[in-house]
Amino acid sequence: AQTVTQSQPEMSVQEAETVTLSCTYDTSENNYYLFWYKQPPSRQMILVIRQEAYKQQNATENRFSVNFQKAAKSFSLKISDSQLGDTAMYFCAFVTIQGAQKLVFGQGTRLTINP
């Protein structure tokens, strides 16, 4: 079974700082996708960034970037120049390309950006 682990239940940083959220996953598959979702207090789940396992280049979306280490099964999210609006729960998620193709989530990290 595929599992996703986020080892940091909560994090807090000052505005404009850089913060990195950790995620590890477990799978025997070779081809899959990884995602980071953001859930602000409004409770809407918003896709932040996506990474295809077959791509070696790390994905980047403006201030958000990932460090994808396939051999280590690690997928961390880096937020640069953090802003107050980045305060939210962040979920790491995983889906295989073959087989069941379930979208499985980690437990989430609550990130607070302080002014």
Nearer to other proteins, 21 or 82 (CB): 21
Where does this chain touch other proteins (CB under 8 A) — which range of 22-30, 38-46, 64-72, 79-87? 38-46
Q: Would you say how long the chain is, in residues?
A: 115
Which segments within 1-115 are labelled E, that is strand?
3-5, 10-14, 19-21, 24-26, 32-39, 46-52, 60-61, 64-69, 74-79, 88-96, 104-105, 109-114
Compute the distance between CA of residue 8 and CA of residue 77 in angstroms, rounded to an integer: 12
Out of 76, 96, 111, 113, the only residue in the binding site for other proteins (CB under 8 A) is 96
Contact call for residue 45 and other proteins (CB under 8 A): yes
Task: Name the residue nearer to other proteins (CB basis): 33 or 64.
Answer: 33
Q: Which residues bind other proteins (CB under 8 A)?
A: 32-33, 35, 37, 42-45, 47, 50, 91, 95-97, 100-108
